[in-house]
Amino acid sequence: MNISESASLSESVREFILLGFPCSREIQVILFMFFSIVYLLTLIGNGAIICAVCWDQHLHTPMYILLGNFAFLEIWYVNSTVPNTLINFLSESKAISFTGCFLQLYFFFSMGSTECFFLSAMSFGRYFAICRPLNYATIMTGRRCFNLVIACWVCGFLWYLVPVILISQLPFCGPNAIDHFVCDSGPLLTLSCVPAPMSKLTSYTLSALIILLSFLFILISYALVLLAVLRLPSASSRQKAFSTCGSHLAVVLLFYGTIMVMHVSPGSSHSTLLPKIMTLFYAMVTPLVNPLIYSLRNKDMKKALWKVLEKFKISFKVFGSRHRRNVGLSGLV
């Protein structure tokens, strides 16, 4: 196939159809309501963490700065897929433009890569805080924390750029139906009119590398943390540390377990439903539970969140009193 033929075939598909969850209209509405609730709770939970870290001076430390950035990332992670999914639940066409599909693919995978980097950075910080507490302040300075945050964002957004460009240059001549609720690399490679071994190899290799290397780094960090915890003299301190690390590891295992099934084992035979369920877990469930796991088990964060809640209560009271006063004045006029 020459270049002109490839270009003409690529132009033949101008949009894709995201089939999502084929079911009756009533079930679609129920799913829309359920996904909307999960989406709003995710925004509220992670938004509260960002407000707490920004407003409380006691939380302007490397550990909480990383947590605030992580919460900000989770908000954009769900925004890369969920709004379009909600629209498709109520839409008849379920279409997404060619450009929109590849933008979603890029941001979805970039956010996922950035999450891997941030989880690694947070485990790195936790290791030094517990295993090297005397050196933590000198190692994790404000400047180094800033550089670490920037590195996570930049590396995350550059990591999957090449595969997205390669896949977008493939010819798509139909069919254009993607049996998923997001634009994923696997279904797009399947829809290509020509075999794309280089694009497939590049996509698989980069996905496997970021997932496996970051997961291994996190496991080693937590293994060293647990060894340090076992040396603690107090049983209550050991129990508290085990409880905290156990909850963090549960979220890490949930996130990495699902993405490994999806992106580290491409040769395995997935049913049409399994990829959707796996994607739901790492794209919607983990951003929802992360604020609970990483914040509500932390006394300083709970205090800061209560302060945020009090500020909102005061703001609502002031707004309500002004509204009633304005209504009263307009009635007198």
In angstroms, rounded to a whole number, what is the distance separating the alpha carbons of residues 262 and 268? 9
In angstroms, rounded to a whole number, what is the distance separating the alpha carbons of residues 38 and 44? 10
**C-alpha torsion 211→176→6→100, nearest 10:** -60
Give the per-residue pLDDT at 323: 52
Give the per-residue pLDDT at 328: 55
Task: Please state the length of the chain.
Answer: 333
In angstroms, rounded to a whole number, what is the distance separating the alpha carbons of residues 7 and 19? 26
Domains of the chain listed by start with CATH number: 15-296 (1.20.1070.10)
Average pLDDT for consecutive 10-residue bins of the chain (333 residues)? 44 82 88 94 91 85 89 94 91 89 95 94 84 82 91 96 93 86 90 89 92 93 85 72 72 85 63 80 88 73 76 60 55 51
For 249, half-sphere exposure in the C-beta direction (CA atoms, 13 angstrom radius) is: 16
Q: 103 Cβ partners below 8 Å, 6+ apart? A: none
Q: Would you give the DSSP letter of residue 178?
A: E
- The pairs formed by 316-321 with CB atoms below 8 angstroms and a separation of 24 or more are none
DSSP alpha helices (H): ranges in 160-285?
161-168, 185-191, 197-230, 235-263, 274-280
Strand partners, 177: 17
**Residue closest to 41 by CA, chosen among 33, 207, 17:** 33
Q: 213 Cβ partners below 8 Å, 6+ apart? A: none
For residues 107 and 55, the answer to whether their CB atoms sit within 8 Å is: no
Q: Specify the 3-state DSSP secondary structure of 73.
A: helix
Which residue reads 């508290």 in tokens? 240
In angstroms, rounded to a whole number, what is the distance separating the alpha carbons of residues 325 and 314? 16
Give the per-residue pLDDT at 113: 95
- Which amino acid makes up residue 242? F
Give the per-residue pLDDT at 316: 57
In angstroms, rounded to a whole number, what is the distance separating the alpha carbons of residues 62 and 129? 10
Phi/psi for 272 (5° steps) reads -70, -25
